[in-house]
Chains A and B, each alone.
Chain A
Amino acid sequence: EAQVTQNPRYLITVTGKKLTVTCSQNMNHEYMSWYRQDPGLGLRQIYYSMNVEVTDKGDVPEGYKVSRKEKRNFPLILESPSPNQTSLYFCASTDQLAYEQYFGPGTRLTVT
């Protein structure tokens, strides 16, 4: 089954404790992205990647890091999480021909 998976699905952590949210896709897509979703603000892109070892900033990259060492994986790293990073995070991979983005199930992060 074609899918995008994220782990963990829920995470409560404390300010400053480094964390990684994993994202994996099995559709052989070259393009992958990370979004955060906040009430009233919609989906805002954090980072995107157009290929292995190729990443670029989206609209709200501050406080986040990403890496793309393998085509299927695109982890999101928060080196020093702060409460304003409490949000719902979605990973997505893109069919570069059809342009459709396939979203993962989401990770709800709470930083206290």
Chain B
Amino acid sequence: GENVEQHPSTLSVQEGDSAVIKCTYSDSASNYFPWYKQELGKRPQLIIDIRSNVGEKKDQRIAVTLNKTAKHFSLHITETQPEDSAVYFCAASMPGTASKLTFGTGTRLQVTL
């Protein structure tokens, strides 16, 4: 089955700096790659996703890039703010299996003032 590795496990940045979280996946058939944000004590929520026919997607301060050849994808957060502090999870799924999602182990991002 699919295996998703995520790095780093913790990341501390100063407010205003950029943060990058990286994930690799094992199954080249995977074609959908979402990122979820989980604030302390809350449920995970989708923040951005990308499909394998696209190399990059941006939404205001966040962006995701995908390298299908290398089987890795990354989350980029620019101009970080304290409210960006949370745990971020990457995930991957294969065609026709929107419900079968394999998650990475998460990155705890701390934005310091």
Contacts and interface: CB of A to CB of B under 8 A. Distances in A.
A59 B1 contact: yes
Interface residues on B, range: 20 to 34
A100 B34 contact: yes
Interface residues on A, range: 20 to 34
B104 A58 contact: no
A31 B34 CA distance: 16
B43 A33 contact: no
A104 B34 CA distance: 18
B43 A45 contact: no
Given A90-B44, A99-B98, A43 B49 contact: no
Contact of A104 (B36, B43, B101): B43
B105 interface: yes
B93 A99 contact: yes
A45 B46 contact: no
Interface of A: 31-33, 35, 40-45, 48-50, 56, 58-59, 90, 94-96, 99-101, 103-106
When A and B form their complex, which 6 residue pairs have the shortest distance between CB atoms, in order from nearest?
A31-B99, A42-B105, A103-B43, A43-B103, A48-B99, A99-B98
Interface of B: 1, 6, 9, 32, 34, 36, 43-46, 49, 89, 91, 93, 98-106
6 contacts: A31-B99, A41-B105, A44-B103, A94-B98, A101-B34, A106-B43
